[in-house]
Chain A
Amino acid sequence: MTEHSLWRFSRALHRAINERQPADLEALLDDDVDWAIYGPVDMFQFFGSRRGKAAVIEVIRQIADNVRVHRFDRESIMLGVDSASSMMRYSLTALDSNKPISVRIAHFAQFRAGRLTNFRVLVDTFDLVEQTVGYPIHLPRMAV
């Protein structure tokens, strides 16, 4: 039974971030990969959209410059033939402050011939930003 592309991608992604070894990941990216992590790009440079293998490797390098992944727990996972999605809880350390960060993310991946062609990541950015600044964000009392 062939291993699902998600598992190879996941191993390579975390190796690229924690060990700064992007070669495995690079081999699993489509040349024209479409990549997006939704979130405030003015606070986190590695959020936003990227296109193409080189741009994705660069954004992974930026992530590796900022955080170390300690663990992740998949709360939900869904595997299709050439697609996958997960909801996960990540435990990270911010490298500049050594501050622990725990954040929930959801990702949606599409593969073609074992290579990643499309990757979308949603992050609970409100929680992430509050942990980053270290205090609660004041929310207006209003009907939304």
Chain B
Amino acid sequence: MSAELHRRRVLNFLDAFYGGDTEAALKCCDDDIESMVYLPVELFPHLGPRRGKAAISELMDVHDARYSSRRFEIKFLVVDAERAAGIIDVSFTKRTDGRVLTMPSGLFLTLRRGLITELRSFFDTIDMIAQLTGRDLVGPLLREAGPALRPPELPPSSSGTRANKI
């Protein structure tokens, strides 16, 4: 029963969060909600570990100021009586230039008595930053680093040495 309640709560939260309905989003959250978005703080000073509904509200304000449209599509969601985890494809339309950013986001939530008490978001950070800034981050690194980081010239199915080791 609580798993179904929590599934509805998570879906309601996502609808409100990406729909820009702050009041509805905050109704899904515990007063002491802990939130964390795993992104470089030097580029995203408004993110990082936060506590309380105000952090969610401020994040939504930032999104509203920067993006004219926000959408999400659930690709995977599992919910039980205490937690939820999912992967969603999100898209943001930038107000400044109209570019649409699309990326997968991993979500890990903890719920108690039907409210979200913890929200952690996770991204392919290189892709996200490259889309946000409009800059290729990896290409220059490959050129600077030389052959050790360049992709192999052989097709993936061919045998031979790997040029791009971690």
Contact = CB atoms under 8 A, between A and B. Distances in A.
Interface in B110-166: 120, 122-127, 129, 132-133, 135, 137-139, 141-142, 144-145, 148-149, 151-152, 156-157, 162, 164-166
Interface string B81-116: 001111100000000000000001110100000000
Nearest to A120: B87
A3 interface: no
Contacts of B141: 43, 129, 133, 137
A66 B152 CA distance: 13
Interface residues of B, number: 49
A96 B83 CA distance: 39
Interface residues of A, number: 49
A2 interface: no
A140 B120 contact: no
B42 A139 contact: yes
Nearest to A82: B78
Contacts of A67: 166
A80 B78 contact: yes
Contact of B126 (A45, A62, A85, A129): A129
B138 A129 contact: yes
B151 A45 contact: yes
Interface in B34-66: 38-40, 42-44, 66
A105 to B, nearest CB: 8
Nearest to B137: A137
7 tightest A-B CB contacts, nearest first? A126-B125, A80-B78, A85-B85, A96-B165, A125-B126, A106-B106, A38-B124
Interface of B: 38-40, 42-44, 66, 75-76, 78-80, 83-87, 104-106, 108, 120, 122-127, 129, 132-133, 135, 137-139, 141-142, 144-145, 148-149, 151-152, 156-157, 162, 164-166
